[in-house]
C-alpha cells in the first residue's frame, strides 16, 4: 500500500531492556529509511519524557539521554489525540500513519504500548493489550501452553509458602522480563528464595523451571501479514563457553564484537543443523503458538530441544523481539519488506476495542441509588 504520512518508529521506555530497545529502534529506522520510507523516530526516555529525535542517530548519541537536537513531545488524549510538538508560540501535531513499536520488556511490550497507541488512535504494530500481557507473563504463558496441550517444561511461581513438585536444580527467572536479564541457576529452593528477595530483577515476581543442562536452545520467528509465515530454525551458539547452561544477556547482545549489532551478529547456526523431525516439530509448534495466543506482527518463539528424548518444547514468546528478528528473515525476505508488512497490517487490520453490545446507560439506570449499595460496607 502507499504510505500516507510518516511511520513512527517508537523505542526506549522505562525497562531493564531500555538499551536493547534503542538498538532495535535505530536499526528499524535505518532499514525503513534506506528503503525510501518516510520515518519519524520517537524516543521514550526512562524519565517518561517523549522526544522526536534526529534522523539517523547512533547508539552512542543516547548515552546521556535524548540526543542533541531532540524535541520534546507531549501526549494529547481526547479531542484530537496524538503526539504534539511545540513550535514557537504554537504547537503542531505529528501526522503519523502508523507506529512500529520497538519496546522491549516493561509495560511497553507487555500490552501498555498497545493500549497507549490505541488511545492515541494511531495504528500500531505488535499485538493487542491482552495478547501482549500474556506474552510478557511467563507464568500465564506457560499455563496457556499447558491448557492448549502444547509441550512446555514445568513452570511455577517462586513462593515462600510452597515448593515446586519437581526437584532442583532450578532456573530462576523474572516473571515479567526478557533478554535473559536476571536469570540464575540454583541447586535448591532455599537459595532460589534468597535470590528472589535480593535480586532487583525479581522484585515483581519470579518463576522456577527445572534446569536441564543438556537441553538445546532453538528459535523461530513468525509473521502474520499478509499471511502466517515462518522463518527457518535458528540454533544460538554460546561462544567461548560450554554448550550446557543458560543463553545469557552477554551472549545474546554483547558477543557480536564492537562492529556487531547485538543479536544480528551473535554466533549462531542458521539454519539449525538438527534432525528433520525437530525442524518439523518446531514449525508446527510455532504455528500453534500463533493460533492460540492471537499474537500478530513479527514474533519470535523460543524453543527447547531435548536431544535425548527428541522432544521439542515451547519455552517463551517474544511479542516484540530483539532486532525485530530481522536476522532470521533476511535470507528469505528483505528486512524493509518485513517491517513495512507489519506496519501495513497495523493499518489494514487495526486493533480496536470491543464496543458495548447493548444500549449505553442500561446498567447505570438499573443500579438505583448508590447509598443502597453501601449496606454492610461500613
Between CA 358 and CA 364, with CA 359 as vertex, the angle to 5 degrees is: 105
User: Which residues lie closer than 8 Å to 225 by C-beta, 6 or more apart?
Assistant: 296, 297, 341, 342, 344, 345, 348, 349
Predicted TM-score (pTM) of the model is 0.89
List Cα–Cα distances, 225 to 97, 345, 351, in angstroms. 18, 6, 14
The strand order across the sheet containing 156-157 reads 156-157, 206-210, 170-174, 184-186
- Write out the three cell numbers for 167: 526437584
Q: Say how far apart CA 179 and CA 160 lie, in whole Å.
A: 26
CB atoms within 10 A of CB 309: 8
Closest CA to 77 of 128, 130, 118, 126: 118
- Answer for the pair 283, 328: CB distance below 8 angstroms, yes or no: no
- Answer for the pair 168, 188: CB distance below 8 angstroms, yes or no: yes
Q: Say how far apart CA 206 and CA 200 lie, in whole Å.
A: 11
- Answer for the pair 285, 303: CB distance below 8 angstroms, yes or no: yes
Element (H, E) at 338: helix 335-348
Q: Say how far apart CA 286 and CA 266 lie, in whole Å.
A: 22
**What are the pLDDT digits (tens) for 136-173?**
999 999 999 999 999 999 999 999 999 999 999 999 99
pLDDT reported for residue 239: 57
Between CA 240 and CA 154, with CA 185 as vertex, the angle to 5 degrees is: 115
Secondary structure class of 118 (helix, strand, coil):
helix
DSSP at 5? S
- Write out the three cell numbers for 205: 515476581
* Distant-in-sequence contacts of 245-253, Cβ < 8 A, 24+ apart: 245/185, 245/213, 246/171, 246/180, 246/183, 246/185, 247/180, 247/217, 248/180, 248/183, 249/179, 249/180, 249/181, 251/180, 252/179, 252/180, 252/322, 253/20, 253/23, 253/179, 253/322
| Strand 39-44, strand 7-12: pairing | parallel
pLDDT reported for residue 371: 66
- Answer for the pair 218, 233: CB distance below 8 angstroms, yes or no: yes
List Cα–Cα distances, 119 to 18, 78, 82, 353, in angstroms. 23, 8, 9, 10
Q: Say how far apart CA 3 and CA 170 lie, in whole Å.
A: 49
- Would you give per-residue pLDDT tens digits along the chain (378 residues)? 456 789 999 999 999 899 999 999 999 999 999 999 999 999 999 999 999 999 999 999 999 999 999 999 999 998 899 999 988 778 899 999 999 999 998 889 999 999 999 999 999 998 899 999 999 999 999 999 999 999 999 999 999 999 999 999 999 999 997 657 889 999 999 999 999 999 888 888 999 999 999 999 999 999 999 999 999 999 999 755 444 455 444 544 454 544 444 556 778 999 999 999 999 999 999 999 999 999 999 999 999 999 999 999 999 999 999 999 999 999 999 999 999 999 999 999 987 766 666 567 777 777 777 766 676 666
pLDDT reported for residue 4: 74
Burial 211-234 (b: 16+ CB within 10 A, else e): beeebbbbbbbbbbbeeeebbbbb
pLDDT reported for residue 308: 96
Domains of the chain from N-terminus onward = 7-126 (3.40.50.20), 154-211 (3.30.1490.20)
DSSP E strand boundaries for 94-228: 98-101, 156-157, 170-174, 184-186, 206-210, 216-223
pLDDT reported for residue 87: 80
Amino acid at each position: 500500500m502507499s504510505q500516507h504520512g510518516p511511520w513512527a518508529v517508537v523505542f526506549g521506555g522505562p525497562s531493564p531492556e531500555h538499551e536493547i530497545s534503542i538498538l532495535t529502534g535505530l536499526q528499524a529506522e535505518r532499514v525503513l529509511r534506506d528503503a525510501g520510507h518516510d520515518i519519524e523516530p520517537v524516543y521514550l526516555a526512562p524519565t517518561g519524557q517523549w522526544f522526536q529525535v534526529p534522523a539517523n542517530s547512533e547508539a552512542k548519541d543516547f548515552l546521556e539521554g535524548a540526543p542533541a537536537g531532540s524535541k520534546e513531545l507531549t501526549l494529547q488524549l481526547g479531542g484530537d489525540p496524538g503526539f504534539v510538538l511545540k513550535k514557537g508560540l504554537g504547537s503542531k501535531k505529528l501526522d503519523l500513519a502508523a507506529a512500529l513499536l520497538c519496546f522491549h520488556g516493561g509495560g511497553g511490550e507487555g500490552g501498555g504500548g498497545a493500549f497507549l497507541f490505541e488511545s492515541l488512535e494511531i495504528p500500531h504494530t505488535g499485538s493487542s493489550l491482552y495478547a501482549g500481557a500474556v506474552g510478557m507473563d511467563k507464568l500465564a504463558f506457560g499455563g496457556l501452553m499447558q491448557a492448549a496441550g502444547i509441550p512446555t517444561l514445568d513452570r511455577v511461581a517462586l513462593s515462600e509458602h510452597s515448593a515446586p513438585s519437581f526437584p532442583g536444580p532450578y532456573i530462576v527467572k523474572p516473571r515479567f522480563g526478557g533478554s535473559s536479564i536476571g536469570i540464575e541457576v540454583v541447586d535448591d529452593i532455599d537459595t532460589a528464595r534468597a535470590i528472589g528477595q535480593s535480586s532487583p530483577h525479581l522484585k515483581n515476581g519470579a518463576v522456577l523451571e527445572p534446569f536441564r543442562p543438556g537441553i538445546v536452545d532453538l528459535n523461530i520467528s513468525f509473521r502474520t501479514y499478509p499471511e502466517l509465515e515462518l522463518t527457518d530454525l535458528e540454533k544460538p551458539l554460546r561462544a567461548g563457553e560450554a554448550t550446557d547452561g543458560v543463553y545469557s544477556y552477554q551472549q545474546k547482545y554483547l558477543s557480536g564484537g564492537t562492529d556487531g549489532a547485538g543479536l544480528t551478529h551473535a554466533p549462531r547456526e542458521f539454519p539449525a543443523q538438527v534432525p528433520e523431525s525437530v525442524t518439523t516439530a518446531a514449525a508446527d509448534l510455532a504455528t500453534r503458538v500463533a493460533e492460540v495466543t492471537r499474537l500478530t506482527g513479527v514474533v519470535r518463539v523460543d524453543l527447547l530441544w531435548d536431544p535425548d528424548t527428541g522432544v521439542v518444547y515451547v519455552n517463551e514468546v517474544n511479542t516484540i523481539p530483539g532486532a525485530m528478528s530481522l536476522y532470521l528473515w533476511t535470507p528469505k525476505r528483505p528486512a524493509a519488506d518485513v517491517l513495512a508488512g507489519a506496519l501495513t497490517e497495523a493499518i489494514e487490520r487495526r486493533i480496536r476495542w470491543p464496543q458495548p453490545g447493548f444500549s449505553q446507560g442500561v446498567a447505570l439506570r438499573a443500579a438505583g441509588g448508590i447509598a443502597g449499595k453501601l449496606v454492610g460496607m461500613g
